Structure 1
Amino acid sequence: MGLRQCEICKEAQSKYKCPSCLTPYCSVVCFRKHKENPCQKSSPPLKSVGAESLTKAAEVLPERAYHVEEPSWVLGKEQLESIVESKEIRDSLQSKDLQNLIKSISSSKNPENELDEAMKGQNFRDFTDKIISIVSNQQKDP
Structure 2
Amino acid sequence: MGPRLCQVCNEAQSKYKCPSCRAPYCSVPCFKKHKETPCVLPEEKPESASVLPVPSEEKPTAAPESVVERPITVTEASAVLERQQLEAIASSSEICDALKDESLQRLIESIDCSPDAENELDKAMDVEMFRIFTDKILSTINP
TM-score normalised by L of structure 2: 0.54
Aligned to 1:30: none
> CA–CA distance in 1 between the matches of 2:122 and 2:86?
22
Structure 2 residue aligned with 1:88, among 73, 76, 94? 94
Structure 1 residue aligned with 2:75, among 53, 69, 76? 69
Amino acid at match of 1:52: K
Structure 2 residue aligned with 1:112, among 118, 121, 132? 118
Amino acid at match of 1:96: E
Gaps of 5+ in 2: 1-19, 21-37, 41-56
> CA–CA distance in 2 between the matches of 1:130 and 1:105?
18
Structure 1 runs (4+) deviating above 4 angstroms are none
Amino acid at match of 1:120: D
**Matching of residues 34-53 of structure 1 within 5 Å:** 43=39, 51-53=58-60
Amino acid at match of 1:109: P
1:60-107 deviation digits (Å, cap 9, x = unpaired): xx9432212211011011110100000000000010000000000001
Report % sequence identity: 46
The answer to whether 1:79 aligns with 2:59 is no
Structure 2 residue aligned with 1:136, among 121, 128, 142? 142
> CA–CA distance in 1 between the matches of 2:91 and 2:127?
25
Gaps of 5+ in 1: 1-19, 21-41, 45-49, 138-142
1:19-45 deviation digits (Å, cap 9, x = unpaired): x9xxxxxxxxxxxxxxxxxxxxx648x
The CA RMSD over aligned residues, in Å, is 2.5
